[in-house]
Copies of this chain bind each other. A is one copy, B any other.
Amino acid sequence: MTRSEFSHSGIYAAALTPLNADLSPDEDALVRHGRWLLDNGCDGLAVLGTTGEANSFSVSERMSMIEAMVEGGVPVSSLMPGTGCCSISDTVELTRHALGLGVTGALMLPPFYYKGVSDDGLFAAYAQVIDRIDDDRLRLYLYHFPQMSSVPLSYDLIARLIEAYPGIIAGMKDSSGEFTNMSGASERFPGFAVFSGSDEFLLDILNAGGAGCITAVSNIASSLATRVLRAWRDGEADNATDLQEKLTTVRETVCAYPLSAALKEIMARHSGDGEWRNIRPPLQALDDAGAADLLARLADTGFSLPALNGGVR
Contacts and interface: CB of A to CB of B under 8 A. Distances in A.
B59 A111 contact: no
A8 to B, nearest CB: 24
A122 B283 CA distance: 8
Classify chain A: how many residues form its interface, as a range: 35 or more
Given A59-B59, A115-B147, A150-B150, A120 B284 contact: yes
A150 B115 CA distance: 9
B281 A111 contact: yes
A148 interface: yes
Given A118-B284, A124-B281, A283-B121, A57 B111 contact: no
A292 interface: no
A121 B284 contact: yes
Contact of A55 (B86, B149, B281): B86
A308 interface: no
Nearest to A280: B88
Most buried by B among A57, A112, A148, A281: A281
A128 B284 contact: no
Contacts of A58: 59, 87, 89-90, 93
Nearest to A287: B120
A110 interface: yes
A237 interface: no
Contact of A121 (B114, B121, B128, B281): B281
A151 B111 CA distance: 17
A57 B89 contact: yes
Contacts of A124: 281-282, 284
A61 interface: yes
A155 interface: no
A305 interface: no
A112 B85 CA distance: 12
B148 A114 contact: yes
Interface in A149-163: 149-151
A248 interface: no
A145 to B, nearest CB: 10
Contact of A282 (B23, B59, B111): B111
A88 B283 CA distance: 12
A121 B90 CA distance: 25
A113 interface: yes
Interface of A: 23, 50, 55-59, 61, 86-90, 93, 110-115, 117-118, 120-122, 124-125, 127-128, 147-151, 280-284
4 smallest beta-carbon distances between A and B, as pairs: A121-B282, A124-B281, A125-B281, A55-B113
